[in-house]
């Protein structure tokens, strides 16, 4: 029986010491055989997942996930304060609560409930003062969440950022401002959606049976925000250039694991409601949110590692080399 192409180089060390992943073990023939039997394809997918998990561990993704969790938690309120200030300028201060609701829509209720209450207490009232002296600090701290994602994704895609730190920080701030305007537009759509629908029904009463579907508008908008955010994060945040098609596998894996992880986390909190309170006392709410974000961050990084594994395997198949430093501002990790 012929030896498996996946195991011909098991004893050989990686050609790049800092990588420790050996994506070249994936046989080009396996990636080309569109008519391969089902078992061989399943074995290929299993090998991809194993290599991605190996990359996940070797790239210190667990430690980076904790950095992402803390950065996202600390940047969440500055971001909402910025949204409140921008919304107040346009005379729509109530949109901040809608934005917070859209962000927390997919979170387990045990976590989203207490945070939503704190968000409402902080965001009540006009915050136009943020647009004066505090705008720089607000933007800086809000952009820290994007910077933490950049660190993890650069490792996942096996690239190193060579641009100046202030340039990447400005890029992160641009993402924050753009995200604030997009979320306000989405929130405005959620607020005005029922009014627009009632106006449509006056002109087209035949659409009355679809009235129940309007209730899913909020869930649909939240899902759209998550998918678009993941796609743009993998496409634009790390160094280098990638196509939207190349990031789809990791995004799909992230969405699936997030859905499963969210249900599992909710089930745990339902069946063991006092577990965190008995351990952390008054800090239970903050710690539950932090652990939940830590789980989401780890899953997000695994999606990046899966994309990085597939891209490395395709480069091996095509015989291409990483682009030289210069136009892409990217050099391969040693």
Residue 100 Cα distances to 17, 94, 112, 117, 187, angstroms: 44, 11, 10, 10, 9
> Where does 272-328 have alpha helices with state H?
275-280, 284-318
pLDDT given at position 191:
67
Give 71-99 as a DSSP string.
Answer: HHHHHHHHHHHHHHHHHHHTT-TTHHHHH
Contacts of 171 (CB under 8 A, 6+ apart): none
pLDDT given at position 139:
81
Measured CA to CA, the distance from residue 211 to residue 202 in angstroms comes to: 12
Structure tokens at 188: 């405005």
Measured CA to CA, the distance from residue 13 to residue 24 in angstroms comes to: 11
Structure tokens at 17: 């010491």
pLDDT given at position 245:
92
Domain-wise residue ranges, the chain = 46-317
pLDDT given at position 150:
94
> Where does the chain have alpha helices with state H?
28-32, 38-58, 61-89, 95-104, 109-123, 135-156, 165-203, 217-236, 244-271, 275-280, 284-318
pLDDT given at position 322:
52
Structure tokens at 254: 């992230």
Backbone Cα Rg of the chain = 23
Beta pairing partners, 159: 332
Among residues 334, 332, 294, 310, which one has the least CA distance to residue 71? 294
pLDDT given at position 13:
41
Q: Please check whether residue 212 is in contact with residue 127, taking contact to mean a CB–CB distance below 8 angstroms.
A: no
- Please give the chain's pLDDT, 334 residues, in tens: 444 444 444 434 444 444 545 544 555 455 455 555 788 888 888 999 999 999 999 999 999 999 999 988 888 878 877 777 776 666 565 666 777 777 777 787 777 877 877 777 766 655 555 555 567 777 888 888 899 999 999 999 989 888 898 999 999 999 988 888 887 777 777 666 777 777 787 888 877 777 767 667 767 777 888 899 999 999 999 998 899 999 999 999 999 999 998 888 888 888 877 777 777 877 888 888 899 999 999 999 999 999 999 998 888 765 555 544 433 333 333 3
Measured CA to CA, the distance from residue 79 to residue 176 in angstroms comes to: 8
pLDDT given at position 133:
58
pLDDT given at position 234:
95
Beta strands 159-161 and 330-332, pairing class: antiparallel
């Amino acid at each position: 029986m012929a030896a498996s192409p996946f195991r011909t180089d098991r004893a050989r060390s990686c050609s790049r010491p800092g990588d420790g992943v050996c994506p070249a073990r994936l046989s080009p023939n396996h990636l080309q055989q569109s008519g391969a039997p089902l078992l061989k394809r399943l074995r290929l997918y299993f090998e991809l997942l194993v290599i991605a998990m190996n990359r996940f561990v070797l790239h210190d993704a667990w430690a980076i996930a904790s950095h992402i969790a803390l950065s996202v938690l600390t940047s969440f309120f500055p971001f909402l304060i910025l949204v409140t200030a921008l919304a107040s300028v346009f005379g729509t201060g109530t949109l901040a609560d809608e934005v917070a609701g859209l962000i927390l829509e997919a979170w387990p209720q045990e976590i989203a409930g207490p945070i939503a209450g704190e968000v409402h207490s902080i965001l009540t009232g006009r915050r136009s003062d943020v647009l004066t002296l505090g705008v720089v600090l607000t933007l800086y701290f809000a952009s820290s969440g994007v910077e933490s994602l950049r660190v993890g994704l650069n490792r996942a895609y096996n690239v190193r950022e060579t641009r100046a730190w202030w340039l990447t920080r400005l890029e992160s701030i641009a993402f924050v401002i753009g995200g604030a305007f997009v979320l306000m537009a989405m929130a405005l759509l959620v607020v005005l959606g029922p009014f627009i629908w009632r106006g449509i029904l006056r002109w087209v009463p035949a659409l009355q049976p679809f009235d129940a579907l309007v209730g899913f508008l909020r869930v649909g908008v939240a899902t759209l925000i998550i998918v678009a955010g993941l796609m743009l994060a993998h496409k634009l945040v790390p160094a280098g250039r990638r196509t939207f098609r190349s990031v789809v596998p990791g995004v799909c894996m992230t969405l699936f694991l997030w859905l499963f992880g969210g249900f599992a986390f909710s089930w745990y909190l339902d069946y063991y409601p006092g577990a965190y309170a008995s351990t952390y006392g008054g800090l239970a709410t903050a710690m539950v949110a932090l652990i939940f974000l830590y789980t989401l961050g780890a899953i997000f990084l695994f999606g990046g590692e899966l994309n990085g594994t597939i891209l490395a395997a395709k480069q091996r198949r095509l015989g291409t080399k990483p682009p030289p430093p210069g136009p892409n501002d990217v050099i391969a990790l040693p």
